[in-house]
Chains A and B, each alone.
Chain A
C-alpha cells in the first residue's frame, strides 16, 4: 500500500507540472499555487536520476552514497538522542509516579521546556558541552546534537510513561500492598509492565521528535556530515541544480520512516502477548 501511495504521489506531482501555471498562480488574490516549472518542481525522473550522478562536477562519489552516509550520521545522532530521551523521560516519570506532589511541581516545567526555541538552545548546549573535559573524555559536537534531539524526545515519553505507571487500578495497588510489596518491587512487577502499552505511542512520538531534533540541531550547531547539513548545502545550489535538494529531503523523510519502522518492530515484540484492544 505504501508503494502504491508513493506512486500516486509521483503521478500527482507530474500531473500538476503539466496543468499547473509555470510561474505560480493566484487563488482569490493570494499566491497559493506553487510554480510548476522545472526549477521549482523538477521531474520525478530527474530527481531519481540525480541520485546516480556524482555529487559535484568531477567528483567520484554519487549523491546516493553521500546522502546515505549523511543519513547514517544523522540516524546515529537521533538514536543516541532517543536513548537519552527515553532514559531521562522514564526516569522523570518514575520519580513523578513515586512522589505525586512532584508531578504537579514538575509538569509545568516540562511543558515550558518544550516551548523554548531549539535555535536558541543549540548554542548554549554547544558552549556548555565545549567546556566539559572529564579525564580523557572530551565533548564532541555530535553529542550536543544528540542532547538537543533528546530534549525534544523526552517530553512525550515522560508524559506517556507517567500515565502508564499510574494506570494500575486501586485494586491492583491494594493487591501488591496485601503482599507487603515494596514500592520498588511493585514498580518492577506491576507499574512498569502496565506502562508498556502506553509507552509505544510515546516512543513513536519521541522517535519522530528525535529525528526532527537531530536535523535541526545539525543546522543550528553547524555540525557537518549529516543529512540536515546536506539539505542546507544543496538548497544553496537549487538554482543551478534543482533536483539536488530533493535527494536530501527524501533522505530525511526516509530517516523518519526508518525510525518509525524501528519502533514498529519493538511494538510487535512487546504486543505479541497482549490483548488486542487497550481498554484505556
Chain B
C-alpha cells in the first residue's frame, strides 16, 4: 500500500524572481503512513497552511514532488482522494445541512437517493441527524464545523486535510470537537493532516507532531506521541504534559532572539 502522503524536497517561493520574493517552504520531506494522525504546528508564517495546500494541489510547488496515495497531487485531486476542512466551516447558506453534505457527492455524480442516504449516515456519525433539514446559520459554530467535517468525509476519502478547523471555536467546544474527531477517525480509519497552532491540540490528537520553524518554513522536529486511548483524563496525564513540553521546546529551539508569540501558549 502506497503512502497517503509522500513529500520529497518540496520548496515553495512566492513571487519568485521578483524583489518581494518570499520563501515559504524550504526543502520539506515528509512521509505519512496510512491511518496516521499528523499535526502540523508552528507560528504564523511558517508555511504550514501552504504545505497543506500543496498536498491538496490547490497550489503548485516551486521544486520537489508531492504524491498522494501513490499518484501525483494533481491526479489525486481529480480523483477526489482527499477531503478538506477549513477554519471557517464555509457551509453554503442556500443549502440545508444535508444538502451541504451532499455537495461533493453531487460533484462526483452520485444519484439522489445515494446522496441522501450517505448524508444521513454522515449526520449520524457527527450526531446531528435531527438537524438534517435545518439551515446552516441556525446551527452553532461547533455544529457547523461538524457539518463541514461530515461534508469532507461524505465521499469516504482516505485522506483528510484540515486547516485550523477548530481555530474559531471556544475552548470547551474545541476540546469536545477534538474528542469527536478522534472518535470519527477511529470509525473511518482516515489518515489526517491537521494544521493548528495550539500545542495541546496538536499533542492530544496526533500520532506525530510535525514542528515547523518559520522564514523559510522548515521541519524543525518530528515528535512521536503515543497516548493510547484518549479521553478527557488524558489532558491531565503526565505523558501528555511531557509531550506538550517537548513540542514547546522544539518550537522555542529555533528562535532565541524573539520570544514566542504568547497566543501559542494561550491555546
Mask, A5-26, CB within 8 Å of B = 1, is 0000000000000000000000
Task: Identify which of A172, A185, A194, A275 contacts B107 (C-beta below 8 A).
Answer: A185
Which residues between 9 and 64 of chain A lie within 8 Å of chain B, taking CB atoms? Answer: none
Cβ–Cβ < 8 Å partners of A179 in chain B: 80, 103-104, 107-108
* Chain A contacts for B82, CB-based, 8 A: 178
B77 at the interface (CB under 8 A from A): yes
Give the chain B neighbours of A196 by CB distance below 8 A. Answer: 94
A164-183 interface (Cβ within 8 A of B)? 169, 171-172, 174-175, 177-181
> Given A189-B106, A273-B135, A275-B137, does the pair A174, B94 have CB atoms closer than 8 Å?
no
Is A274 at the interface (CB under 8 A from chain B)? yes
- Write out the residue numbers on chain A whose beta carbons fall within 8 Å of the beta carbon of B137: 275
Which residues from 102 to 125 on chain B have a C-beta closer than 8 Å to any C-beta of chain A?
103-104, 106-108
Which of A169, A171, A178, A273 is the most central at the interface, judged by chain B CB atoms within 10 Å of its CB?
A178
Interchain nearest-CB distance for A182 vs B (Å): 9
- Are A274 and B77 in contact, CB atoms less than 8 angstroms apart? no
A189 to B106, alpha carbons, bound, how many Å? 10
* Majority secondary structure of chain A interface residues (helix, strand, loop or mixed): helix
Size category of the A interface is 10 to 19
When the two chains form their complex, are residues B107 and A193 in contact, meaning their CB atoms are under 8 A apart? no
Whole-angstrom distance from the CB of B53 to the nearest CB of chain A?
Answer: 8
Residues of B within 8 A of A274 (CB): 93-94
Q: Does B70 contact A (CB under 8 A)?
A: no
**B61 part of interface (Cβ distance < 8 Å):** no
Of B88, B93, B94, the contact of A169 (CB 8 Å cutoff): B88
CB distance from A118 to the nearest CB of B (A): 37
Confirm or deny: A235 has a beta carbon within 8 angstroms of a beta carbon on chain B.
no
A193 touches B92 (CB 8 A): yes
Please tell me if B58 contacts chain A, counting CB pairs below 8 Å.
yes
Nearest opposing residue in chain B for A270, CB measure: B94
Q: Is B90 an interface residue (CB 8 A)?
A: yes
Residues on B with beta carbons closer than 8 Å to the beta carbon of A181 = 107
What CA separation (Å) do A181 and B94 show in the bound complex?
Answer: 19
Choice from B83, B86, B103, B104 contacting A174 with Cβ under 8 Å: B86
Shortest CB-to-CB span from A86 to chain B, Å, is: 19
Q: Does B84 contact A (CB under 8 A)?
A: yes
> A262 to B126, alpha carbons, bound, how many Å?
43
27 contacts between A and B (CB under 8 A): A169-B88, A171-B86, A171-B87, A171-B88, A171-B90, A172-B92, A174-B84, A175-B84, A175-B86, A175-B90, A177-B58, A178-B56, A178-B58, A178-B77, A178-B82, A178-B83, A178-B84, A180-B107, A185-B107, A189-B103, A189-B106, A193-B95, A194-B94, A273-B94, A274-B93, A274-B94, A275-B93
List the interface of chain A (C-beta within 8 A of B): 169, 171-172, 174-175, 177-181, 185, 189-190, 193-194, 196, 273-275
User: What are the 6 closest A-B residue pairs judged by CB atoms, nearest first?
Assistant: A275-B137, A179-B107, A171-B86, A178-B84, A193-B94, A180-B78
